[in-house]
Amino acid sequence: MKVSKIGIVSRFDRQDALDMVKKIHDEFNSKVDIYLSPGTGERLKISSNLLPVYKMRDAGVQLIISVGGDGTALRNISKMKDPLPVLGINLGNLGFLVDVPPEDAIEDIEDVLKGFTYTERSRLSVSLGNKNLPDATNEIVLITARPAKILTFRISIDGTEIEDIRADGVVFATPTGSTAYAMSAGGPIVDPRVDASIIVPLAPFKLSARPLIIPGSSTINVEMIIPEKEAAVVIDGQHTYSMKENDIVTITKAQNPARFVSSSINGFYEKVQSKLA
C-alpha cells in the first residue's frame, strides 16, 4: 500500500536533528501529507500540521519517522497506546532500533513511501499499585534510589514465589531489550521472535541469583520488602517513578506491540554482529 501520510518526531535540542527533519520535510512535503510533533515544528517555524505523536494514528498517519537515537524512538513509542510503525534515522550512538544512517535517509524514505513491511516487537505492561505506567519496549528497571544501598525484592511468577533477590536492582526485559541494559548486566541475548521475558538481577548479593527467561505470557509481581528504603522504577530509560516498601509492581505482556519498519539491515543476527561486535 502506497503511503500518503507520515509523521515525523525528533530531538529538537540538537541542530543536526532539526536540519535532518527540514531536509526530509522539504523533500517529501509535495508528495505526502507530513505531520510534525509540535516541539520540532515550532523550532523549524512550521505552523501547519503540528500534532502530538499519540494523536497521529487518529489523523490517518501510516508511519512515524523518528530522527535521533534509540531513546527518541522509545520515548515516542511509549506515548502511543497502539504504536504506529517507526522508521528510525540514526543520529545517536549505537542505533540498535533506529538503524538508517543519515546519508541514506532520503533514499530509504523514498523506497518506504512506495510501500513497506514492518516487524512487531512485544512490549511489557507495568503497574505500580493501582497506577498504570507507560508500556516498556526495552525494559523495566527496579533500582535502588540511594547509591550503595542494597534492596530485597520478592518476586512471584504466575503466583509462585521465587527466591527473594537481594541486589542493587532487577531488570525485566523484553527480547528487544535483551541487547540493551539487560545484556550489560549479564543477561542473555534473546531473538525478538521468542515469546519471553528476561529477569536479570543487578549486582546480586548471592551467587545463586542468576538471570531467568520465562514465558512471555507470565504475570510478574515484585514487592520491595526491606523497610525504610526506596527504589526507582525506570521504564526504557525515559520515565522514572518512586517505589516504596510494600508497593507492588505488576508486569504483564502488553496488549499492543511496538512496530519497526524493515530497513536495509533487516536480520536480528546481522544487527547483533554489526552493532555489538
Catalytic amino acids?
A: 70
E-strand ranges in the chain read: 5-10, 33-36, 63-68, 86-90, 118-121, 124-128, 131-136, 139-144, 151-157, 160-161, 165-167, 169-173, 196-202, 212-215, 220-224, 230-235, 239-244, 248-253, 258-261
Backbone angles phi, psi at 168, to 5 degrees: -70, -20
Rg (CA), the chain: 20
What is the Cα–Cα distance from 33 to 8, expressed in whole angstroms? 11
Name 143's Cβ contacts closer than 8 Å, sequence gap at least 6. 168, 169, 202, 231, 232, 234
